[in-house]
Amino acid sequence: MVKRLTRNERKAQTRAELVGAAARVFARKGYHAATVDDVAEEAGFTKGAFYSNFDSKEDVFVELVADRSRNWTMAVARAYEGAAPLPERLRQGGEVLTRMVENDVDWMLLAIEMWSQSVRDPRLRERLAAAYEECRQIIARGVDQVEGEFGVRLPIRSDLVATLTMALTDGFVLQRLADRDRLSAGLLAEGISVFITGLMAVAGVPAGGQRA
């Protein structure tokens, strides 16, 4: 017997379907050219159903960017967890990140559109900053766990490690969109690995990543 969804579950499902539809529409048309009608039609809902879940096109765009950023960050963070030696965890996390950079170009284009739009829109900029802060906290918690695991303190705070890691990712994504032939997706993972390994070395952790 199929379980009937509660009202809240149905609403959450509808929102998720609208966000997924928005991702496809924005990828095809771009944020500015896309309309609420386009998103509703893509999802198979009425325009009224859209507005019962989101206030505006901007609203669904922000949720899309926040969701995808969170999912990217959590997927990589999970790959870094576990009992394997640190170099192995860095390799695993790097593989996840490389696949994302290779396969999710549409998302990268949307993120760049969001950055560009937020420069001119203070309200949008504030919402984008909140989405970034959530990702920053996820990464910082992982850094805190690694510090506790090895009994060390890195030379910079965990939130700054998170900020710089995200900046490295954003900058690389931007460059690779312009020069995919010369910049392999794996280069980003290598750069982050060097960054983290270097910080750990300064903190006194040997290259093999042995625990304290």
pLDDT at 59: 92
Using alpha carbons, select from 165, 112, 116 the residue that is nearest to residue 139. 165
Q: Taking the model in full, what pTM does it have? A: 0.82
pLDDT in tens, 33-62: 999 999 999 999 999 999 999 999 989 998
Which regions of the chain are under pLDDT 70?
A: 1-2, 207-212
Q: Which domains does the chain have, with CATH numbers?
A: 7-54 (1.10.10.60), 57-202 (1.10.357.10)
Give the count of beta carbons closer than 10 Å to the beta carbon of residue 205: 22
- Tell me the per-residue pLDDT of 165-193, one tens digit each, with 9 for 90 and over: 999 998 998 899 889 889 998 999 999 99
Measured CA to CA, the distance from residue 64 to residue 61 in angstroms comes to 5
Q: How many residues does the chain have?
A: 212
Secondary structure element (H or E) that encloses residue 140, with its range: helix 122-150
Residue 94 is predicted with a pLDDT of 84
Q: What is the pLDDT of residue 208?
A: 60
Q: What's at 167, amino acid-wise?
A: A
